[in-house]
Amino acid sequence: MAVASVMLPLGTIAPPFALRDVVSGRVISLDSFHGKQALLVMFLCRHCPYVQHVQGELGRLGRDYAETGLGIVGISSNDPASYPDDAPEQLSELAQRLGWPFPFCFDESQEVAKAYRAACTPDFYLFDAQRRLVYRGQLDDSRPGNNKPVTGRDLRAAIDAVLAGRPVDAKQQPSIGCSIKWKPGNAPG
């Protein structure tokens, strides 16, 4: 069943994290993006049809903004005991196969997902240079089966505004996707 993102209040400061990249093994944290004009934090997974629907665009987005002031990190917080496709080894294979040019981290404790109030995959959070939330919402209005093209229009407009020093439109549509797969007893209250 599809769920919508929580829509964390704009202006929220990016919660800290330190997670291992499933491809390189490096620990990635907020400090890894020091000096970047903006930071995009994406909650993703492998098994969800909503992520599968946009995974090519996520790679294009990463490549298109690779030489800009945007830092990007993908995070998977799903319980791999219940969803083996979302285990770190499977996530690594996905990221390498798709050529994702950004780190893809595994949130084993699920504490990072809780701190960001992530509710679904995909869930997108864009922060400015001071790591204040300026965008949370959908990639675009494409969904599996609705025959709308995957363009990344909404998220790209927000990224472009931040990188150009312009305010991001506060009228934002929530992301829709599969719910975060919490470990038994670990779901937020």
**What is the share, in percent, of the chain residues with pLDDT greater than 70?**
99
Tokens of 88: 């770190």
Task: Judge whether 108 lies within some domain.
Answer: yes
pLDDT class of 25 with cuts at 50, 70, 90: very high
Q: Compute the C-alpha angle 82/87/92, nearest 5°.
A: 155
Does pLDDT of 1 surpass 90? no
19: β partners = 28
**Residue span of the structural domain in which 141 resides:** 2-179
How much is the mean pLDDT over the chain? 96
Q: How many domains does the chain have?
A: 1
List pLDDT tens digits, range 141-172: 999 999 999 999 999 999 999 999 999 999 99
| pLDDT for residue 189 | 76
Query: Residue 186: inside a domain, yes or no?
Result: no
CATH number of the domain enclosing 150: 3.40.30.10
Q: How far apart are CA 77 and CA 129, in angstroms?
A: 25
Report pLDDT for 42: 98
Tens of pLDDT along 92-137? 999 999 999 999 999 999 999 999 999 999 999 999 999 999 999 9
Sign of torsion, CA 189 8 138 59? negative
Residue 15 belongs to a domain: yes
* Cα(187)–Cα(119) distance, integer angstroms: 10
The distance in angstroms from the start CA to the end CA of the chain is: 19
pLDDT band at 2 (very low <50, low <70, confident <90, very high): confident
Q: Given this model, what pLDDT does residue 153 score? A: 97
Q: Return the percentage of the chain with pLDDT > 90, whole number.
A: 97
Q: Per residue in 60-97, pLDDT tens? A: 999 999 999 999 999 999 999 999 999 999 999 999 99
Is position 184 within any domain?
no
Instruction: Kindly state whether residue 34 falls inside one of the protein's structural domains.
Output: yes
pTM for this model (two decimals): 0.97
Q: What one-character DSSP code corresponds to residue 9?
A: P
